[in-house]
Structure 1
Amino acid sequence: MPTSTASPRLLHIITGLGTGGAEASLVRVIRGAEDPSRHAVVSLTTRGTRADELEAMGVNVRALGLARGHASWKALRDLRAIARDVRADVIQGWMYHASFAASLLSMTSREHWPVLWNVRHALDAWESEPRKLRWLIQLMARFSSHPQAVIYNSSRAARQHEARGYAATRTVVIPNGVDTERFTPNAASRSATRHALGVPANAVVIGMAARVDPLKDHDTFLRVAAQLAARTSNIHFLLVGTGTEAGTATQPCPLDAAMAARISEVPALGRRVVRCGERRDMPAVYNACDIVMLTSRSEGSPNAVAEAMSCGVPCVVTNVGDAAQLVGRSGEVAPVGDVIALADAALRLVNHEARRAECGHLATARIRAQYAAPIECAAYARLWASASAGAASVPLHRAAPVERAPRVLVVTTISTTLDAFLLPFADHFRARGWHVDALAAGATTHAGLGMHYDRLFDASWQRRVGGVLHAWRTWRALWGAPRQVRAIVADGAYDLVHVHTPIAAWITRFALRDRAPTTKVIYTAHGFHAYPGASRLRNALFRAVERTAAAWTDYLVVINADDLAIATKDQLAPPGRIVHHPGIGVDTRHYHAASAVDRRTTRHGLGFGESQPLIAVVAEFNRNKRQADVLEALALLASRVTVMPTVLFLGDGPRRATVEALAVARGVADHVRFLGHRRDVAAVVASMDALLLPSKREGLPRCLLEAMAMHVPVITSDARGSRDLVAQGRGLSYRTGHVNALADALADLLRQPLEARARADRAAEWIEREAALRHITALHDQLYDAALRGTGLDVDRSVAAEPSADVHGRAA
């Protein structure tokens, strides 16, 4: 065991030293180690293609020459002799066979070396795995408490193995790193490689880098290629990896039959597929591509995707392993084996060069920020030091736990809250290697959530807890909900429980009132039920409820100035643990000013020209949203302006028919359109002259934030939260419910378009600086890191101190 401050001596045992992802990671982390010469490597099979590279770094490399998948007692004796010869402090196995060999070596030797397993495999296609491998995976589950850590390169793989019995207390997730100095955008290399491969300079090239293996599913890639070749003439394809080369009559290759079948369907495909075989110049290959596709049926954290992204190439991937988490918003994700979905995803990038370029820039930035090799190497170095230090001072059967990934449970009342607002945060923290689960009503059946969270749980509560017909069901659900929450949290050993929305927040905090000190509860209040303008009785009741729950709350996040004032006055969390976040973040990559062409196209599709003033109202039709005020104001506006605007109502709800009837009764039906539920809300709003929100109450309205990010002028009632957003000249405000003041605000907007545009530009600058998703994500980083340490944060009262916007009708 080490007795100095020098880094520990590592013996790495690996199945082989070929060109696969595990071998690449092994070389990468040793190269990034403080002293590579303190590492030794044993290949159970041959020296492969990596041994010389390792030896050039001063690494002691040995090969036992076993046939793949075979073992012997002699090999175990050889491993023991090597471990003693290199004076190993820690033994790390890479992949199943080598990891199991590392544990056998430790358990049968007097030294009892601390062991780390490194699992590089996901179980997305369990039934397709070889029977012997499935048997070994299940056998190792019984021994998974022996290693000090089981390292996975993907969160999804970790959860899959835990589900099959692997010890969750040993889980450590370290995503694959990328050498960003080697894998980097290179225009010169792109041109040279395309010329060498015979690919036209102006072609759109889709590549796939993978060895030929059933789990890589090259057949699906070729089917997608055939579809694309039949639909457009400018797409070419590159296949790179062992077994992708073209065969001959005497020596056919695995892909020959599949290629022949696809070419018989689409003859043009034969001239557009370049089969490269195995290559060592992968940065050049990636740079030659416009898109990289992964059609695998099972993956951990795919190196090829990360490397391509680092080179600035957007990726289209199947939803396997951590592929979707890896690409984030820089690429496209499709279901496994879905040829149509993969082809459509590729076409979305093929047909929009600007979007391809934007996604490429996002991909490079994402890899450099979260998946660069130094991040991976630092994680391994901490793990090695922890394992070595723990073994030096603690008996093996009571080995000190190594650093593990933090575990977070996100709780909301219904699953649509997760989908609509919280996915970027789940993606962000999982990309940091954290384990993120979610609990909500309907979570397990909500399409698409599974790719963003490690595990999903269905809550027993309901959104609305009243009604005579549902009283008994409601009572049973609420009675059992705290017990359910306690069981889930106890089983998951969560470090943080982050609750959102009132019902889920109260039940969860109540359930965890006697929790262990190591579990911290964070509550994000998306608008307290007590708010200015509500009745005194209502506010007194709800403030009393929040004060009761304050004793069970470690950190409180508020999203508007009024809630910050209430939280501070009522002491709804400990001092220094009430923080203000301006919303849940606007993704400014998606919400941005519309181009002149897009604005004109959207308006034309709606039946309007450039000169017609258009105002959007985006909200559910209910009493709180007060759409009727808009109609009353339009009736007054007719006498104040020469050109009447058209108001477009987007949304649906129980009061829609009532509002439609009121438009006729007030004589403004010709000046309104009811568009109902739309999937293109962002495009419609971006083409408007203004967005109007007449609500009685809000938390921090998302529609206003998004319109402001798109440089669209906004008019809002002075409801809580809304007035925060339009402060300092970022928009127009009027006194809630005063239709005469609303008519004045609309008239100001129409008469002074330049001033409206200036307000919109100030609003967009503020969004970029204070409310953009990347900024809110950084605030969550600070919050979560403080919660893990149990420390306070500075309370931000900057928004509360801002002067309000000019409010029409304030003196009325």
Structure 2
Amino acid sequence: MLMLTSEWPREADHTAHFVQRQVRFLEAAGVRVEVFPFRGAGSPLRYASAWLRARRRLARRDFDLVHAQFGQSALLAIPKRVPLVITFRGDDLLGVIGADGRPTRAGWILQQLSRLVARGADAIIVVAEHMARRLPRRVPVHVVPSGIDLELFRPLPPGPARERLGLPEGERLVLFVGDPADPRKRGDLAQNAVSRLAGSLRARLVVAWRVPHAQMPEYMAACDALVFTSLQEGSPNAVKEALACDLPVVSVPVGDVAERLQGIAGCELCADDRPETIAAALRRVLARGGRIAGRAAVRDLDERLLTQQVIAIYRDAVNRAARWSAARQLTAARPPAA
């Protein structure tokens, strides 16, 4: 199988680990995966160069399937030589939010390209149910959230974690995961909400950005709550990973977070994204204290289980493409009517 991806972690890069993790678990399950990473970054010349290299790779090797991570990556597989599966993860289908908080023209173009390539897929994967409604019904659409490595993300003692990270004992810490300068993540909103906490519930915002992914469970162990303020998401990994670590979550309504937090005592889904609303939710969570029973709610997101779902989708896509090819050959061989 050839995996096309426009995002792949480099040595100094701490993003897109979910793609790398999926490859690792697919290989462990016996799937032979060849990764074709490229950097398009909105440049037509880069995409043209990547398309030529991908076509040469497809011509040289006898792949059974192409799996494109993100809609833009699927451009490299068109026209199809083998069955195509596309995973849409967020911005590729929902659009890109600019610094002013509004959808960008580039994001609109990306959405249109994603819908176009989706029509040529043999199967589509989305990471959340709300994304499936944006896709054509003629292609099978499967909801498979980004999984969690439950061996890595697990509850840890907070004291040793704070000591290793150099964080103070006796202070309430609220975790923010992501680039605080990214307007889509709204780090300023998180800081505004935390700064409203006073008295015995005063807290400090801890920003985990450019942190090695393997170290993230220690941050989640060291902090008292996760605050999540993103403007747009598909199925945010930070929330699911926090639940796997039994870390309380306070989040604005975004992506599939409402579904993830449903029924978990000690977590709060805010009614809106005003800083005072988020601060009030943080007060309730911090006053309650302690950890939550979040891990049980995400056991179905174990990457090992989801990998088997993805493999089943691969098989179905290959079989579907074979049936379609056989039907076309039969039609072509049929003599014309007299």
- Structures share fold, TM-score greater than 0.5: yes
Residue 336 of structure 1: how far off its partner (Å)? 4.8
Aligned-pair CA distance for 1:186? 1.3
Residue in 2 aligned with 1:383?
Answer: 313
8 A contact 2:65–2:84 mirrored in 1: yes
The residue that corresponds to 2:105 in the other structure is: 131
Structure 1 residues 95-110: aligned runs within 5 Å: 95-102=70-77, 104-106=78-80
Deviation of 1:124 after TM superposition, in Å, equals 8.3
Aligned partners of 1:178 and 1:307 also within 8 Å? yes
- The reply to whether residue 367 of structure 1 matches residue 298 of structure 2 is yes
- For 2:331, the equivalent position in structure 1 comes to none
Residue in structure 2 matched with residue 678 of structure 1 by the alignment:
none
Aligned-residue identity in percent: 23
State the partner residue of 2:160.
192
Aligned-partner SS, 1:378: helix
Q: CA deviation at 1:371?
A: 1.3
Measure, in 2, the Cα distance between the counterparts of 1:191 and 1:97. 44
Q: Does 1:221 align with 2:202?
A: no
- Residue in structure 1 matched with residue 260 of structure 2 by the alignment: 326
- Superposition deviation, residue 240 in structure 1: 0.7
Shift of 1:232: 3.8
User: 2:90 matched to 1:121?
Assistant: yes
Mapped partners of 2:106, 2:95: distance in 1: 17
Aligned ranges 1:529-544 → 2 under 5 Å: none
Is this contact kept in 2: 1:240–1:279, CA < 8 A?
Answer: no
1:147 aligned partner, one-letter code = A
Q: Deviations over 1:189-239 (max 9, x none)?
A: x222312444332333210111231111111001011111x3545423210
Mapping 1:374-773, distance limit 5 Å: 374-395=304-325
Q: Displacement, 1:381?
A: 0.9
Gap change, CA 1:207 and 1:149, over 3 Å in 2: same
Relative distance call for 1:234 and 1:133 in structure 2 (3 A) is closer
In 2, the alpha carbon distance for the partners of 1:232 and 1:86 equals 64
CA deviation map 1:759-780 (0-9, x unaligned): xxxxxxxxxxxxxxxxxxxxxx
Is the counterpart of residue 44 in structure 1 residue 19 in structure 2?
A: no
Assess if the C-alpha contact under 8 Å between 2:121 and 2:139 holds in 1: no
Question: Does structure 1 conserve the Cα–Cα contact (< 8 Å) formed by 2:194 and 2:205?
Answer: yes
| Alignment partner, residue 20 of structure 2 | 27
Match of 1:181 among 151, 154, 162: 151
Q: Does 1:209 align with 2:152?
A: no
Q: Distance in 2 between matches of 1:336 and 1:94?
A: 31
CA distance in 2 between counterparts of 1:336 and 1:181 reads: 34
**Which fold has the larger relative contact order, with Cα–Cα distance below 8 Å and residues 6 or more apart in sequence?**
2
**Contact 2:195–2:203 (Cα < 8 Å) also in 1:** no
1:204/1:290 contact within 8 Å kept: yes
**Preserved contact between residue 177 and residue 371 of structure 1 (Cα < 8 Å):** yes
Q: In the alignment, residue 16 of structure 1 is paired with which amino acid?
A: E
1:36/1:209 Cα in 2 relative to 1: closer, same or farther (>3 Å)? Answer: farther
Greater Rg by CA: 1
Matched, 1:152 2:126: yes
For residues 396 and 294 of structure 1, what CA distance do their matches in structure 2 show? 49
Q: Is the 8 A contact 1:40 1:86 kept in 2?
A: no
Distance apart, 1:397 and its partner CA: 9.0
Q: Against the structure 1 CA distance between its residues 216 and 278, is the aligned structure 2 distance closer, same or farther, given a 3 Å change threshold?
A: farther
Does structure 1 conserve the Cα–Cα contact (< 8 Å) formed by 2:7 and 2:37? Answer: yes
CA displacement 1:443-472 (0-9 Å, x = unmatched): xxxxxxxxxxxxxxxxxxxxxxxxxxxxxx
Q: Please report how far the alpha carbon of residue 138 of structure 1 lies from its aligned counterpart in structure 2 after TM superposition.
A: 1.8
Unaligned runs of 5+ in 2: 329-338
Query: Aligned partners of 1:200, 1:396: CA distance in 2, in Å?
Result: 66
The 1:168–1:283 alpha-carbon spacing in structure 2 relative to 1, beyond 3 Å, is farther
**2:250 alignment partner, one of 312, 316, 328:** 316
Deviations along 1:528-548, one digit per CA (max 9) or x if unpaired, are xxxxxxxxxxxxxxxxxxxxx
Question: In structure 2, what is the Cα distance between the partners aligned to 1:168 and 1:306?
Answer: 31
| Contact map agreement 2:95 2:103 (CA 8 A) in 1 | no
Maintained 8 Å contact 2:74/2:117: no
1:339 correspondence with 2:309: no
Unaligned runs of 5+ in 1: 1-9, 46-65, 107-111, 243-276, 399-812
Note the aligned Cα RMSD (angstroms). Answer: 2.5
Match of 1:493 in 2: none
Output the CA distance in 2 between the equivalents of 1:396 and 1:319: 47
Give the letter for the 2:148 counterpart: V
- How far apart, in 2, do the equivalents of 1:296 and 1:387 lie? 34
Q: Structure 1 residues 105 and 280 mapped into 2: Cα distance closer, same or farther (>3 Å)?
A: farther
| Alpha carbons 2:95, 2:104 under 8 Å: kept | no
* C-alpha separation in 2, matches of 1:155 and 1:388: 24
Cα distance in 1, alignment partners of residues 159 and 274 from structure 2: 32
Change (3 A) 1:86 1:39: farther
Alignment match, 1:14: 5
Say if 1:214 and 1:83 are closer, same or farther in 2 by CA, change over 3 A: same
Cα 1:67–1:295 change in 2 (3 A) is: closer
1:220 corresponds to which letter in structure 2?
A: L
- Contact 2:201 / 2:283 at 8 angstroms: preserved in 1? no
Whether 2:50 is the aligned partner of 1:84: answer no
TM-score by length of structure 2 reads 0.84
1:387/1:291 Cα in 2 relative to 1: closer, same or farther (>3 Å)? same
Letter in 2 for 1:81: R
Deviation at 1:89, TM superposition (A): 0.9
Q: Distance in 2 between matches of 1:67 and 1:139?
A: 14
Alignment partner, residue 625 of structure 1: none
